[in-house]
Amino acid sequence: MDWIQKLRDSHKDFEKGNIATVFGENPFDEFIKWFDEANVKNELEPNACSLSTVSPGSLKVSSRIVYLKELRDSEFVFYTNYGSQKGTDLKENPLAALLFFWPGLERQIRIEGIVQKIPALESDAYFESRPRQSQLSAWASNQSEKLNQREDLISRLEALNSQFPEKVPRPPHWGGYALKPNTIEFWQGRPSRLHDRCCYEFIDGKWINYRKNP
């Protein structure tokens, strides 16, 4: 097929930036700098990232896009249904990875660490800030379970709208997770595939950094 050949013949070079020196001691300061630049440069949904989890039984790896909602206490916070596939994976195997990709800047950040639920009060506060329809959807969707027909989902949503005419409480099966990293890698595309890779690892209570081969 023509499009397959085009993929094979594609040899994009990267030339928009570099990591001239190894970063400072705190990788979160560097993350904020890159994240702020992604916002300034109008990257599309810069807080979108790929979350990868592993099923404890089959060791099956699954990835999906989630949205970073907060960076606090050296943790990356996102929200979801606890009963979803990712929630089920994390319950038994809390090891996970996040990947931010900003093609306009030719950058990506890889993050690996351990995930745990955030306190219920924090989840309550964020849930209250969501639009009403999003609140109702959190109740209506049995996330990751089979759906016979979309009409069933719409019917549940309409029933919930009547059930909660005013304030919508947070569902007990929905809330936030925080990933506490032990590895963070900053990747900057460079010409001739000689990319810059600056890696941080948390070892013996402190962050160390070093470069990796591209």
CA distances to 44, 49, 149, 212 from 76, rounded to whole Å, are: 19, 11, 35, 24
Chain centroid to CA 89: 15
Q: How many residues are present in the chain?
A: 214
By three-state DSSP, how is residue 129 classified?
helix
- How far is the C-alpha of 118 from the C-alpha of 157, rounded, in Å? 27
Return the closest-CA partner of residue 98 out of 179, 202, 30, 214.
179
Known catalytic residue at 193: yes
Phi, psi angles (nearest 5°) of residue 85:
-60, -45
- How far is the C-alpha of 115 from the C-alpha of 96, rounded, in Å? 7
Token pair, residue 182, equals: 């032990």
- How far is the C-alpha of 125 from the C-alpha of 100, rounded, in Å? 26
Return the closest-CA partner of residue 67 out of 47, 84, 51, 86.
47
* Residue of 110, 193, 197, 211 with catalytic role: 193
Supply the residues annotated as catalytic: 193
